[in-house]
Amino acid sequence: MPAATSPSNAPPTAALHWLQLASEAWWMWAEASSVIAMRTAMIAFERPGHGREAERMVIEKLAAAFSLSQRLARAGPMAPEQVMQTMLAVYSPRVAANRRRLTRRLQRGHGRVRTAS
């Protein structure tokens, strides 16, 4: 009689793989939301560097979209989960880097709101 397969040594199922991808996508969405909030505050309150940040935002979005389209075009036909993995590989590091950079910037005080005296 073959040994029972325990969950710890069972091969990952397609559903588990999709759950992992969904979790990674959710985390990227959460980080992107914080980046959007920080950038919106900088621009709305005209914090120092808000113009450069707006330019950077547009340039980064175009560069990321171009990078993803190149990767997908070079890869040829892909399964849906491979497309999602590729998207996460392109966008997640960029979103995380923006969150870290903007958080450091706000912690250093470069994002303080100017008040009238």
Q: How far apart are CA 72 and CA 68, in angstroms?
A: 6
pLDDT of residue 48: 80
pTM, 2 dp: 0.75
Mean pLDDT value across residues 18-32: 94
User: Is 80 exceeded by the pLDDT of residue 64?
Assistant: yes
Is residue 112 pLDDT above 60, yes or no? no
Distance CA 31, CA 51 (A): 22
% of the chain surpassing 70 pLDDT: 83
